[in-house]
Amino acid sequence: MKKILALALLTSVPFAMSLPFSVIPEAGFVIGKYTTDESGMDEKWRASGFELGAKASYNIPNTKFYIEPGVYYTYVPFKFENKTETIEGGLHFFKIPINAYYEVYNSEPFSIKLGAGPFLAYRLDGDDKKWEDWDFGLSLGTSFTYLDQFVVDARFDLGLKDIAKGSGERKTRAFVFDVGYKFNF
């Protein structure tokens, strides 16, 4: 098995390096919430999150398809309310999305891509025992590029895993808006 993995890695790296690619550092803000099934507890959207990271964008030759893996530090805020209390806070994640995009419009100086893909996130909040360490889900989004350099991304991240330990189910939800600068290689 190790030999097969090593062979796959050795043959895929030259192929990946031959693809036209870009690196896009990005920063942005997050409007987040966590769903809950606790009776009498309402979840509220909070616009106090942020994201910082970068993605690579590989254009598959002779197509309008792109593969865009990334790495991000993300803070997703939460707010729960009932008649007697309000609970506010947020969780910090190291997130790895891998999205597939299709370019739906390209006319100088603009291009627009639509895409989706999975993400995997690791919680960075240390020893807080109320939350699971890992989250995963789906991202749906769009990417706007101006002059083949300036990038604006908007996406919705849908957490699929219950990340609460103990009573009640909680899943992440987030609208993410990033701006970045594209370095072509």
Span 93-146, pLDDT tens digits: 999 999 999 999 999 899 999 999 999 999 998 777 888 999 999 999 999 999
Distance CA 148, CA 28 (A): 19
Name the nearest CA neighbour of 46 among 101, 15, 18, 88.
88
Name the nearest CA neighbour of 146 among 183, 181, 116, 184.
181
Name the nearest CA neighbour of 40 among 87, 89, 78.
87
Spell out the domains of the chain, with CATH numbers in brackets.
2-184 (2.40.160.20)
3-class SS of residue 77: strand
Predicted model pTM: 0.85
Name the nearest CA neighbour of 66 among 102, 118, 19.
102
CA distance from start to end of the chain: 34
Alpha-carbon dihedral angle through residues 118, 126, 53, 43, given to the nearest 10 degrees: 60
pLDDT tens digits in sequence order for the chain, 185 residues long? 556 555 555 555 555 556 679 999 999 999 998 888 777 778 888 889 999 999 999 999 999 999 999 999 999 998 888 888 888 888 999 999 999 999 999 998 999 999 999 999 999 987 778 889 999 999 999 999 999 999 999 999 999 999 988 767 889 999 999 999 999 98
